[in-house]
Structure 1
Amino acid sequence: MNDITPRELEVEALRENDGLTYKAIGEYLGVSPTMARHLYVHAKRKRRDALRRELSHGETECPVNVPFLPSELTALQDLLKHVVQTRRHKGKTLSACYTDRDYAAARLLYNKLTGKD
């Protein structure tokens, strides 16, 4: 994720950590609210693309064989299902959810466990 600029990181932090509006971010940084939104969207897109590259790169490597008890797999599946359903019900579209690293990883693992690849 080295391609995310320091300014994009700053906008992302101000938006997500501090809960500032694009207008407030723009005033703080001396840019327009539109530019603040543009920087935020680019940061999120770069993170999503980096996650996709990371996840797809992992698929080309040899799989790790980790022994699980059936009850552990069921618990993991239930947990992943909860993450997927919770994100979907927070009023976000499915594509918006994929910008969240935890959701994307949970969705990928859930699909593998349930055979929905």
Structure 2
Amino acid sequence: MNERDQELFYNDIEITSIPEEKGENLIHIVTTLSVKLGVKLSENDLVSATRVGRVNVSSETVPESRPRPVVVKLGRRALKDQVLMATRVRRGITTEGTGLPAPHRRFYVNERLTKVNRLLFWQARKKTK
């Protein structure tokens, strides 16, 4: 079942550390970030882009909460591979110059994993440290 579920994510990437705002246009944000990475993605290449996870509400005790990740479903696997390769080449890239609100911060692009695979990956990283 886990393998089948992971197959559903073959064309998906996950972008983290992107500031979250009300009324944001995620398709525009993703295309802007892809230009910053050096990959030209048009709106036709994107099937969907959504935030996933619970809404983090900032309070007085936690002034700035972590923004939810953006999950992007691409039209082809080759596009996903291009984006991931460009991300590896440009490690440490920030949101500066993308039109996103300051403070500018690093963003990360990874493959989307199932919950089981994400936990397994986390445990493997923990073990190697």
TM-score (norm. length: structure 1): 0.25
Q: Which has the higher helix share?
A: 1
- Higher-Rg structure is 1
Q: Which has the higher strand share?
A: 2
Structure having greater relative contact order (Cα 8 Å, sep ≥ 6): 2
